């Protein structure tokens, strides 16, 4: 399989050689996140620079984890951590009364993995989907507030630097 080169504005140049990452990045599973703004409904009202898609965020989290020498499993978890998100992202937390914990989308991850075929895909690469779904396995990816983690660091770094028409594209 041909390596995938990603030139990222913040994290630099990466050559992705792992087939599982290349196929996930190119899959409809991740590609659909290009149409979902990372800032939810806010993106519909503000068109100034600084808005980016859930796809760009997922790629950014994976690259940041890679920079920190995270395991392949943790990079996969980072790449997939927002696949359950829908058009209005965390606005659903308010609709479904999860605004305090902001975890409605996260609670839907197991279902999203099944519906989108992620479980089957991961098993083809001998990767346990249940392990990927358990964020407690990946301390670089996710931490409780106020601790820093790749997820929080990425959206903090990307928000002010990406411009609407200059997207991260592998």
Q: Residue 73 CB: number of other CB atoms within 10 A? A: 16
Entry pTM: 0.81
Tell me the per-residue pLDDT of 46-88, one tens digit each, with 9 for 90 and over.
454 445 788 999 999 999 999 999 999 999 999 999 888 665 5
Please give the share of the chain, as a percent, with pLDDT higher than 70: 71
Higher pLDDT, 42 or 39: 39
Highest averaged pLDDT of the listed ranges 21-30, 110-119, 154-163: 21-30
Question: Minimal CA–CA distance to 54: which of 20, 25, 85?
Answer: 85
Q: Which residues contact 146 (CB under 8 A, 6 or more apart)?
A: none
Q: Per CATH, the architecture of 19-158 is what?
A: Orthogonal Bundle (1.10)
Distance CA 121, CA 103 (A): 25
8: which strand partners?
12
Distance CA 145, CA 65 (A): 18
């Amino acid at each position: 399989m041909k390596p995938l080169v990603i030139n990222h504005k913040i994290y630099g140049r990466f050559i992705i050689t792992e087939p599982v990452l290349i196929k996930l990045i190119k899959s409809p599973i991740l590609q659909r996140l290009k149409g979902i703004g990372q800032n939810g409904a806010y993106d519909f009202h503000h068109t100034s620079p600084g808005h980016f898609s859930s796809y760009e965020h997922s790629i950014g989290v994976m690259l940041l984890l890679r920079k920190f020498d995270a395991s392949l499993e943790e990079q996969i978890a980072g790449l997939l951590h927002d696949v359950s998100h829908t058009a209005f992202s965390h606005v659903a937390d308010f609709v479904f009364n999860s605004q305090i914990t902001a975890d409605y989308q996260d609670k839907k991850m197991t279902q999203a993995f099944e519906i989108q075929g992620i479980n089957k895909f991961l098993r083809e690469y001998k990767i346990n989907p249940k392990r990927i779904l358990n964020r407690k396995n990946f301390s670089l990816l996710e931490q409780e507030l106020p601790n820093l983690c790749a997820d929080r660091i990425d959206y903090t770094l990307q928000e002010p630097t990406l411009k609407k028409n200059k997207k991260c594209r592998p």
